[in-house]
Chain A
Amino acid sequence: MRARLRGRLGLISAALFLVVVIVMAIAPWIFTPIDPLTTDTSQILQSPGWGHPFGTDQTGRDVFTRVVYGASYSLGVGAGATAAALIVGVVVGTLVGLAPRVVDGVAMRGVEILLAFPEFLIALFAIAVLGPGPINVAVAVGVAALPAYIRVARAETLVVRRSGYVEAAKGMGMHPLRVAVSHVVPNTLRPLGVIATIGIGTTIVAAAGLSFLGLGPQDPTPEWGLLLSGGRNLLGQAWWVAFFPGAMITLTVVSATVVGRRLRRAREGRRS
């Protein structure tokens, strides 16, 4: 009973945190009256305190404000790239899953070749082709996530296609198109939606990683990976400049993972 409450508590706080981050991304000004670019030479490297809950950076900018404003890019890339990868993945994966065996075989070889590479390296290679930049980072992490979605979408399509209920629908004389629309696609989307919730976290980390390496947005854009990178040379004297953006990424990803897992468990519980 207690364990259940504790699990619930974790889930609730994770969901709440996600909501807060989403609001930050949409309306950062609710959280802070300050402009994220405003410098103040009299307030350099202030440690966290009343005026500046997360302290200030080398040009006296409020770290809290910058972290808040950073949510929009990180979350935007996370959600945007994941959504794009999801949509393309579902379309391609479902088509491949429904296609004749030859097409399926060839397509999956291709996807497997892509899957042979670590996601982060694919993103890096994509940057090598596209060149650095904030938009390109989003494209790169989306491309990197794509093969996994195609694969899962195809696998789910195959599972659903061979499932008892699709056979039952067929046995009732239902048209294949209607079977696809009313059974295959919705049931394929469900697990993918769950995976995507967790995938947002992966994408945020990957995008932040690229920014950290200097391949994404440039200073003074507030972006978590970049903020973190900006603080790396200050570790000895001003830990807060790097710490809070990093903590923010971690918490966001943890929250997305917790919520995603909970959704997955709900789904799997239903299945068995």
Chain B
Amino acid sequence: MTSSREVVRVSGLSVRFGQAVVVDSVSLSVSAGECLAIVGESGSGKTLTAKALLGLLPDGASVVVDELVIDGVDARRNSERDWRRIRGSRVGLVSQDALVSLDPLRRVGAEVAEVLEVHGAPGSGERMLRAAIVDAVTGLLGRVAVPEPAERARQYPHELSGGLRQRALIASALAGEPGILIADEPTTALDVTVQAQVLDLLSRLRADGLGIVVISHDLAVVAGIADRVAVMKDGRIVEEGATTEVLSNPQHPYTRMLLAAAPRLPEPSFPELVEGSVAGGFPSTGSGGGDGVAPVLRATGLGRDFRRADGGIRSAVDDVSFTVRAGAAIGVVGESGSGKTTLARLLLAFDEPDRGSVALEGHEWSGIPERRRRSRRGGIQYISQDPLGSFDPRYTVARIVAEGLRGDARGTSPGGRAERIRHLLDSVGLDASLEGRRPHELSGGQRQRVAIARALASEPRILVCDEPVSALDVSIQATIIDLLAGLRRDLGVALVFVSHDLAVVAQLCDEVLVMKEGRVVERGSTRDVFENPRHPFTRALVAAVPRMP
């Protein structure tokens, strides 16, 4: 590691906007063939640090730096023109979500070719002929393991899958053969199995001698690829060291907190393989309250079809059955498009099933007129990924929560109501002083708590949560999960918890359904499923989850 050439050397980097210091005396260095991970939560300054390495800080940012060497070039006094010479040729950028990071209006090949058009042939800088560029683009796409690279080059980003898009984005960053690659949350938008493949690719590139800086909010993601980790908080690097060292023996309390907050998945073992689906049966899923407890919610053979653009039929949910008993917590996991959200909507009767039925508290819930459901809706409540969208922007927190109160509670005296609202806010850990705020004045965590308070207002028996913590920082995520676990414990509320994040489900739920293409491919107790996955898909899913050493 020390023998290699240094490709990035920064010391004393500070970035400020007006009076606010957003990056504070950051120093770091990366050698060829080394991967440095910068980890931090939103607002920690990690992305700005990365952008400073490309000279891409937004207008209004003022930079002070003692040392800034990019692939052998002193970039301290770089003009915009100087930066342009470096970008792409000496330092490449891979950002989150290639769907928007590749120009959606241009073909993939054109995007990959851009560096070559701007800088000419890598090394020589000679102008490249059209044909040479096409060959080079095909070669680059092949190098990042894009199948049928020549054809893919002629497609548009939206026509590629998420994984291929991200690979194409990496190819475009590699086109100028830079010494250093800045990867800003390169896998955040990807499904876990695809994420593993992209991380694999990055490791391979590192092995080929590329210096890589990975920016991530997720310690687990970087654990497998980074040689060293720098933890950032409030613009400063609070801890830096070899990855294994930092993860196993964190020094800074913030690092410790991050590690503690990150949900973990137990190490799986892969015993005998069972082919085929286990769906369709009606296995006992009763737990928590024991077998004698009546089911709160029962789904029987649920199916829901949608018409595809080409006229065909796609079953978003197909033959799904399960039972939720009082106080139970069931996780529903799967990758994007697996039908998780459609299932949640069917349970909530926001949508009607084409096949099968849902029963709530022993009475039919699907297939009846809405007006017959209305009075019973208080019994089942919904927490969405986007709480802000679920609030009327004109309402105050108090009014939002009040809306959730059941008819009888609404009828009580104003004082009683106010008391109840305060109690609800208190139960989700919100200060009563927030009552007068409007949704846009709240933080993400606060919003989710308000949403939960509103849901609790009608004293539901069951909460259906659709990715309730995906948009939150890991520390906030942990507190919301704790809150939900506490509510379940204290109030006996059952949970249906839809998530792409196996670790979160493992932490909160005692049973899990694994969905793929609308069907349940595996089910069982969380421990069983995650520790001894039997279905190949579950295995791949579990195996792909990044783990900390």
Contact = CB atoms under 8 A, between A and B. Distances in A.
Contact of A187 (B350, B374, B384, B394): B394
24 contacts: A164-B386, A164-B389, A164-B390, A165-B392, A168-B382, A169-B403, A170-B350, A171-B348, A171-B350, A171-B377, A171-B381, A172-B377, A172-B403, A172-B404, A173-B373, A174-B403, A176-B370, A182-B392, A183-B392, A187-B392, A190-B394, A270-B438, A270-B440, A271-B393
Nearest to B395: A165
Given A164-B384, A164-B386, A168-B382, A173 B393 contact: no
Interface string A232-272: 00000000000000000000000000000000000000110
Contacts, number: 57
Contacts of A175: 374
A168 B390 contact: yes
Main secondary structure of the interface of A (DSSP, over half): helix
A13 interface: no
B500 interface: no
Interface in A155-201: 163-165, 167-176, 182-183, 186-187, 190
B393 A270 contact: yes
Contacts of B386: 164
Given A168-B390, A170-B377, A171-B377, 14 more contacts: A164-B384, A164-B388, A164-B390, A165-B390, A167-B350, A171-B348, A172-B381, A173-B375, A173-B378, A173-B458, A187-B393, A187-B394, A190-B394, A270-B440
Contacts of A165: 389-392
Nearest to B350: A167
A182 B440 CA distance: 19
Interface string B302-342: 00000000000000000000000000000000000000000
A165 B454 CA distance: 12
Interface in B437-463: 438, 440, 454, 458
B511 to A, nearest CB: 24
Contact of B389 (A163, A174, A176, A270): A163
A167 B390 contact: yes
A178 B208 CA distance: 64
Interface string B378-410: 100110101011111110000000011000000
A202 B440 CA distance: 32
A168 B399 CA distance: 13
A173 B376 contact: yes
Contacts of B394: 186-187, 190
Contacts of A182: 392
B444 to A, nearest CB: 14
Contacts of B377: 170-173
A216 B389 CA distance: 47
Interface string B401-422: 0011000000000000000000
A161 B440 CA distance: 20
Contacts of A183: 392
Contacts of A270: 393, 438, 440
Contacts of A271: 393, 440
Contacts of B374: 173-175
A6 to B, nearest CB: 17
Sort A-B residue pairs by CB-CB distance and give the 5 closest, nearest first.
A173-B377, A164-B389, A164-B390, A173-B374, A168-B390
A111 B374 CA distance: 35
Of A164, A169, A172, A270, which is in contact with the most chain B CB atoms at under 10 Å from its CB? A172
Contacts of B404: 172
Contacts of B392: 165, 182-183, 187
Contacts of A187: 392-394
Of B389, B392, B438, B458, which is in contact with the most chain A CB atoms at under 10 Å from its CB? B392
Contacts of A164: 384, 386, 388-391
A116 to B, nearest CB: 28
Of B391, B394, B440, which is in contact with the most chain A CB atoms at under 10 Å from its CB? B394
